[in-house]
Amino acid sequence: MMANHPILEGKTVIVTGAGIGIGKAIALYLARKGAFVVASDVKEPTTTASAIQSEGGQVLALAADVTSANQIQAIIDATLRQRGTIDGLVNNAGIYSSIVPRPFEEISLEEWRQLFEVNVFGLMSCCQAIVPHMKANGGGRIVNIVSGTPFKGIPYMLHYVASKGAVVAITRSLANELGSSNILVNGVAPGFTLSEGVLENTVQVDRLREVSRNARSLARDQVPEDVVGAVGFFLSDAADFITGQTMLVDGGSYFN
Ligand SMILES: NC(=O)c1ccc[n+]([C@@H]2O[C@H](COP(=O)([O-])OP(=O)(O)OC[C@H]3O[C@@H](n4cnc5c(N)ncnc54)[C@H](O)[C@@H]3O)[C@@H](O)[C@H]2O)c1
């Protein structure tokens, strides 16, 4: 078994958007740290599940679109049937890598709605569906994958930046609201990360790769594996008096 520091042994954690990119890297890392991972994505994340299983980790791979309350409920039911409790939720599903940067006048309200439907409302419905089970279980952890963009006021993807700004605000207010239920809510904000999806978007790569690298104290490309440790930390006992925070994981680009 691979978990040489099993800081999440015995924990059951749902990761949304776990099929590729940052979500896949998070799922793999949490399994390495001893968690039972429920990996979900729009399509069943079979590659993620095989990668975890090949290392001896524990995983349940399920298809669920976070914009569908029924599909979210189905993964909760399946998790509870198999595990009995849900200790953690990592809200990673989001629309990012398909975005083509452009002036805000060219981004239609329909695109704003579609993006908020996933990045904000989908995240909120996952929280609403899972929190009652965490309350019944005496507590839990929620980690929201945010972005450095609202901190820096990055231009040309205003709908995306606004959606992640909303999630920073949700992280703070939800932490306050759920503190008395021993549910801790934190955010992890990656910088521009070369996930599989991003690498396929040549416009984003051309526009953002070099400028992001040069803006960092640690002046190199950011990869999905750079993000995972902060997520594991917020899910672990080491973070049991930290809530409402958003940690920038960007190689020292924006100082929060
Ligand atoms: N890559 C970056 O530079 C970067 C930087 C900061 C934050 N982020 C955030 O990190 C997360 C992952 O980024 P990534 O680069 O791996 O993105 P990605 O677009 O490559 O992957 C996102 C994942 O979410 C899934 N997803 C999309 N809509 C969904 C839905 N309705 N229901 C369930 N799953 C859905 C996709 O299938 C995919 O597996 C996103 O929330 C993104 O906003 C990315």
**pLDDT confidence band for 27 (50 / 70 / 90):** very high
Paired tokens of 222: 């950011």
Q: What is the pLDDT of residue 127?
A: 98
**pLDDT confidence band for 256 (50 / 70 / 90):** confident
The pLDDT tens digits of the residues spanning 152-171 come to 999 999 999 999 999 999 99
Q: Which of 29, 38, 95, 96 to mutate to test the pocket of ligand 1 (most atoms within 8 A of CB)?
A: 96
Angstrom CA distances, 22 to 29, 106, 146, 153, 227, stand at 11, 28, 12, 22, 7
Pick the closest to residue 19 from 122, 117, 93 (CA basis).
93
pLDDT at 1 over 70: no
Say what the alpha-carbon torsion angle 196, 198, 200, 205 is, to the nearest 10 degrees: -130
CA atoms within 13 A on the CB side of 164: 26
Q: Which of 16, 22, 48, 143 to mutate to test the pocket of ligand 1 (most atoms within 8 A of CB)?
A: 22
From ligand 1's centre to the CA of 98, what distance in Å? 9
Q: What is the pLDDT of residue 5?
A: 83
Give the residue, by CA position, lying nearest to ligand 1 atom 25.
Answer: 17
Global pTM reads 0.98
Element (H, E) at 144: strand 140-145
Average pLDDT value for the chain:
97
pLDDT at 55 over 70: yes
Look up tokens 């039911």; give the residue.
77
Q: What is the pLDDT of residue 4?
A: 64
Task: State the closest ligand 1 atom to the C-alpha of 22, by its place in the atom list counted from 1.
Answer: 16
Which of 29, 96, 156, 160 is labelled catalytic? 160
User: Which of these CATH numbers, 3.40.50.1000, 3.40.50.720, 3.20.19.10, 3.40.640.10, describes 12-245?
Assistant: 3.40.50.720
Ligand 1 residue neighbourhood (C-beta within 6 Å): 16-17, 19-23, 41-42, 65-67, 92-97, 118, 122, 145, 147, 190, 192-193, 195, 197-198
96 is catalytic: no
Q: Which residues pair with 61 in a beta bridge?
A: 39
The pLDDT tens digits of the residues spanning 186-243 come to 999 999 999 999 999 999 999 999 999 999 999 999 999 999 999 999 999 999 999 9
* Residues 256, 239: Cα–Cα separation, whole Å: 18
Domain ranges of the chain: 12-245
Report which residue type is found at 208. L
Long-range contact set of residues 2-6: C-beta below 8 Å, sequence gap at least 24: 2/32, 2/55, 2/56, 2/57, 3/32, 3/33, 3/34, 3/57, 5/33, 6/33, 6/34
pLDDT at 3 over 80: no
Q: Which of 95, 100, 205 to mutate to test the pocket of ligand 1 (most atoms within 8 A of CB)?
A: 95
